[in-house]
Chains A and B, each alone.
Chain A
Amino acid sequence: SQQGEEDPQALSIQEGENATMNCSYKTSINNLQWYRQNSGRGLVHLILIRSNEREKHSGRLRVTLDTSKKSSSLLITASRAADSASYFCAPFSGSARQLTFGSGTQLTVLP
């Protein structure tokens, strides 16, 4: 399995601004998943983008995938204080037996 690497490690923005987090990976994938973790809580699956998709939306979330660059980005529009959390990407290949997580991006949205 391969691990995604999130960038930046930490991001602090004002409420109402957009937050963009990036993810890079190394080998071919079937899909790439984004998870959210509130402080001290379990990870929650946010959105999945398949390797043949370039962009996907879900509410205020927009995910892009560039398989040629082996990178993905997660955009949260009109951020709220409640969006403050750690965000992890997880690249998944069909042959993988597990998901591996990087260190995540810790997002702080200031009221």
Chain B
Amino acid sequence: DADVTQTPRNRITKTGKRIMLECSQTKGHDRMYWYRQDPGLGLRLIYYSFDVKDINKGEISDGYSVSRQAQAKFSLSLESAIPNQTALYFCATGIGQGTSGELFFGEGSRLTVL
């Protein structure tokens, strides 16, 4: 089984619908991240969390919200999806302060908003 699991892997939805992307990890890492990738572009950070009580906005948080339900679970929500949120979304985990900063990625959730 994958260490970082994202669900769903693919989702097609309509404008205005609420969508939740879920991420769970078995690596025991404190840090979790949500990134977005658009075709031909790099990854942009949406939100990140260092523990269940420490949640931070990233570069492009507008239109998104997150919930850190437990150390192992970090969900990303689109309250009212719009077409320009069509993208590939990645969850990643990291160990913590004083470490190398290495990240471990899930396989991605491809979201299409019509």
Which A positions have Cβ atoms within 8 angstroms of B?
3, 30-31, 33, 35, 40-45, 48, 88, 90, 92, 94, 96-104
A103 touching B41 by the CB < 8 A rule? Answer: yes
**Whole-angstrom CA separation of A94 from B90 in the bound complex:** 23
B108 touching A42 by the CB < 8 A rule? Answer: yes
A30 touching B101 by the CB < 8 A rule? Answer: yes
Give, as a whole number of angstroms, the nearest-CB distance from B2 to chain A: 9
Give, as a whole number of angstroms, the nearest-CB distance from A34 to chain B: 11
User: Beyond A40-B108, A40-B110, A41-B107, is A96–B42 a contact (Cβ under 8 Å)?
Assistant: no
Q: Chain B contacts of A88 at CB under 8 A?
A: 42-43
Known: A3-B42, A40-B88, A101-B43. 18 other contacts (CB 8 A): A31-B101, A33-B101, A42-B4, A42-B90, A42-B108, A43-B103, A43-B105, A45-B104, A48-B102, A88-B43, A90-B103, A96-B101, A97-B48, A97-B50, A99-B103, A100-B45, A100-B59, A104-B42
User: Beyond A40-B110, A104-B42, is A99–B105 a contact (Cβ under 8 Å)?
Assistant: no
Q: What are 6 pairs between A and B in contact, CB < 8 Å?
A: A33-B100, A40-B88, A45-B102, A48-B102, A101-B35, A102-B42
**Whole-angstrom CA separation of A31 from B100 in the bound complex:** 7
Give, as a whole number of angstroms, the nearest-CB distance from B76 to chain A: 15
Interface check B8, CB cutoff 8 A:
no
Q: Chain A contacts of B88 at CB under 8 A?
A: 40
Q: Chain A contacts of B105 at CB under 8 A?
A: 42-44
A92 touching B42 by the CB < 8 A rule? Answer: no
Q: Chain B contacts of A99 at CB under 8 A?
A: 94, 101, 103
